[in-house]
Amino acid sequence: MSVRSLERAFELLEHLADAGGQLALTELTERSGLPMPTAYRLLQTLVAQGYVRQGPSRRYALGPRLIRLGDSASRLLGTWARPVLAGLVDELGETANMAVLEGDEVVYVAQVPSRHSMRMFTEVGRRVLPHCTGVGKALLAQLPEATAREVVGRTGMPARTPRTFTDPDALMAELAEIRARGYAVDDEEQELGVRCVAMPLPQTPALAAFSVSGPSGRMTPEAVEKVIPVMRRAAAAFAADLAAQG
């Protein structure tokens, strides 16, 4: 038996998460359809518990207490993904990763390394900016363009290599292409000599993406074309597994 007040509180948290910023009480009541007194009462309870914060402008945003819950959930998501990542490594031979968007940063939450001695090196827990990585672009592509612009506006777009996107308009055009074709490519944009294919995972409860990375000498454009359908199948299998687990 559901508890209606809990359902409504979670709905408000979801609306704040979808907004990617701050919302006024009137905006939250419009989006949720709740009466203003009900929304206000629930929000004040969430503020008192630290799950929502209220700024000087009286607008509401997600609160710091959610960080611990989000971190634990991301790690659990990574644990569930490991068998799928291992399957990608077995089939493709290159390092497979899973990353999520936490705040304005990309965080790697799972990895299965390639068996090659020459491979991409990163580690679970590493944080990177989203504009210069395959997984970062795959994550940004799942956001509305205005929200993606806000993210890179806050982080900046420093050049990691001569191939890094540093112009917001050019990046937005790239994100539109990623949405259309369903995958992202990091063509030596984070590290020279490394190419990466990333697949968005829109069915997950948090913004997430898979990636397969390796030296450009092995991850040639021809190899990338063979990687894409394998990753599509892996993403579909992971979504089905998540659905089965509820």
Which residue ranges make up each domain of the chain? 4-63, 67-245
Cα radius of gyration (the chain): 19
Q: Are 219 and 213 in contact (CB under 8 A)?
A: yes
CA-based torsion, 122, 76, 96, 239: positive or negative: negative
Those residues of the chain that have pLDDT short of 70 are: 1-3, 20-21, 64-78, 116-122, 244-246
Looking at residue 196, what is its pLDDT?
93
Looking at residue 58, what is its pLDDT?
85
Looking at residue 162, what is its pLDDT?
95
Distance, CA of 31 to CA of 15 (rounded, Å): 7
CATH number corresponding to 4-63: 1.10.10.10
Looking at residue 47, what is its pLDDT?
87
Looking at residue 21, what is its pLDDT?
63
Looking at residue 1, what is its pLDDT?
41
Buried b (16+ CB within 10 A) or exposed e, 112-142: bbbeeeebbebeeeeebbbbbbbbbbbbbbb
CATH of 67-245, one of 3.40.50.720, 2.170.190.11, 3.30.450.40, 3.40.50.300: 3.30.450.40
Distance, CA of 172 to CA of 164 (rounded, Å): 13
Nearest residue to 211 via CA among 150, 151, 136? 136
The DSSP code sequence of 171-226 is: HHHHHHHHHHHS-EEEESSSSTTEEEEEEE-TTSSS-EEEEEEEETTTS-HHHHHH
Stated length of the chain: 246
Looking at residue 190, what is its pLDDT?
92
